[in-house]
Amino acid sequence: MTSSTSRRRLAGKCYCGAVQYDVADEFVYALNCHCSDCRRTTGSAFKPFAGIERHKFCVVAGEDARLIYGDEMTHDAHCARCGSLLYSVVREGHWVHVTMGTLLDDPSIRPTAHMFVGSKAPWYEITDNLPQHRGHVGAG
Ligand SMILES: [Zn+2]
Ligand SMILES: [Zn+2]
Distance (Å) from CA 32 to ligand 2 centroid: 8
From the CA of 78, the nearest ligand is: 1
Q: What are 32-55's pLDDT values in tens digits?
A: 999 999 999 999 999 999 999 999
- List domains and CATH numbers for the chain: 9-119 (2.170.150.70)
Q: What are 92-125's pLDDT values in tens digits?
A: 999 999 999 999 999 999 999 999 999 999 999 9
Q: What are 76-93's pLDDT values in tens digits?
A: 999 999 999 999 999 999
pLDDT band at 6 (very low <50, low <70, confident <90, very high): low
Distance (Å) from CA 5 to ligand 2 centroid: 33
Q: What is the pTM of this model?
A: 0.92
- Rg of the chain (C-alpha set): 15
From the CA of 49, the nearest ligand is: 2
